[in-house]
Chains A and B, each alone.
Chain A
Amino acid sequence: METLHLDLPAIQDASLNPRAALYGVVSSGNLEVLVERGHDATRCVFEVQTAAHGFVEVWKAVLTDFAARHPVGGLSFAIHDAGATPAVVSLRLDQAFQSLRGA
């Protein structure tokens, strides 16, 4: 297991009222992401536990782009990864975020 902690600046969307929620599943090539309210409205926090070693730079790039793409300030994302490709990671994160907005 490799772990990664990332704390990024982000814009907050005050109209979001996030309930904690879990998306996805820890199965081969997939991941689960737990979205919760964070402590700082101007930051977005990521905690990643991954089974695939040596991809820290890829994770950073994927998460940084995600945090730039959406108003995720004040949210925290905890991820358990079982070898998802960046495409799947981005898709899950987008789905999780869009569901918060829809809920």
Chain B
Amino acid sequence: MRGLAQSYREALARLRVQALLDPGSFSEWVGPTQRVTSPHLAALEAPVSFDDGVIVGQGLLHAHPVIMIAQEGQFNGGAVGEVHGAKIRGALLRAVRDKPGAVLLCIDSGGVRLHEANAGLIAISEIMRALFAVQEAGIPVIALIGGACGAFGGMGIVARLCDVIIISEEGRIGLSGPEVIETVKGVEEFDSRDRALVWRITGGKIRRTLGEATLLVDDDIAAFRAAAGEMVGARSLFLKKRGLNPTTSSLQTLQAAQQQLGARAELDAEIRDGQVLWSRMGLGDQVSLMSPEQFNRRLEALES
């Protein structure tokens, strides 16, 4: 039978964790048997999950020890609640102590879980602070984004705090979901049912184009594993090649980033669709048909 790649987007978080790490190397912390579920969901008569929608633990990636954090996008949209957030924060704090080769953060989340919105908002702020501490300890945080929920709301901000973002074409990063923008500002502002448009605004290819994502990969767990492995294995080399070393932010690096973001914000008002950018860059209108490999190569050629 013809085999297709093992889709990252389709896989549950547990399968992603198994397939991303070296076989049999993963051990979970505060796993499902401990039944640390959300009392807040239960109070609202909403279904709970044995792991509250996130898996944390340690394992090996190409024999390098890593800490793994993986959100389950299919449970409540991967949204962050009190327990969910605390598990992520605990794993990050542990990284500061244990000093693994890297933290892998598989984000698949719409942001704050509304059933426990206040706890979720504070938790994301706590995650941000813990993430800074990990980076200050010299440990890179690698975000993997390719689930159906992408990285939105507060988790979109968290994604951009990571040192490296590996994303698939199907992955998305943003702040407000298109449905929210359409509801508040009208369908003329953002037609959320135009899925191709949604992806031209927030999808993997446009994020890679803008330099936010480090690498675009196929929707294939093996491709994510290979990319993450390369970065953990020869990380300084890889980061140096790309001129990326934001693990420790300095005044100079942030001033440079300020310049760069300022220039982007000055782009003319025509820029309301990724296609306009691609056309101006000479990538034509066939961007959606380019494979990740072709696309990375075209962009690298343009960047150099």
Contacts and interface: CB of A to CB of B under 8 A. Distances in A.
25 contacts: A1-B47, A20-B32, A20-B33, A22-B14, A22-B31, A22-B50, A24-B12, A25-B12, A25-B49, A25-B72, A25-B75, A26-B48, A26-B49, A30-B74, A32-B50, A34-B32, A34-B33, A34-B50, A36-B33, A49-B47, A51-B46, A51-B47, A78-B50, A80-B48, A80-B50
**Highest count of chain A CB atoms <10 Å: which of B33, B42, B51:** B33
Contacts of B14: 22
B36 to A, nearest CB: 13
A86 B49 CA distance: 20
Contacts of A27: 74-75
A22 B47 contact: no
Contacts of A49: 47-48
8 tightest A-B CB contacts, nearest first: A27-B74, A22-B32, A26-B49, A25-B74, A82-B47, A20-B33, A26-B47, A51-B47
B268 interface: no
Contacts, number: 43
Interface string A25-62: 11100101010100000000000010100000000000
A92 to B, nearest CB: 12
A78 to B, nearest CB: 7
A51 B51 CA distance: 18
Given A27-B74, A81-B47, 14 more contacts: A1-B47, A20-B31, A20-B33, A22-B31, A22-B51, A24-B12, A25-B12, A25-B72, A25-B74, A26-B49, A26-B76, A32-B50, A49-B48, A80-B49
Nearest to B50: A34
A78 B51 CA distance: 13
Contacts of A34: 32-33, 50
A39 to B, nearest CB: 15
Contacts of B270: none
Nearest to A30: B74
Contacts of A1: 42, 45, 47
Contacts of A78: 50
A26 B49 CA distance: 6
**Highest count of chain A CB atoms <10 Å: which of B31, B50, B72:** B50
B40 to A, nearest CB: 14
Contact of B49 (A32, A36, A51): A32
Interface string A52-80: 00000000000000000000000000101
B282 to A, nearest CB: 42
A49 B32 CA distance: 15
**Highest count of chain B CB atoms <10 Å: which of A27, A51, A78, A82:** A27
B116 to A, nearest CB: 16
Contacts of A82: 47
Contacts of B45: 1
A80 B47 contact: yes
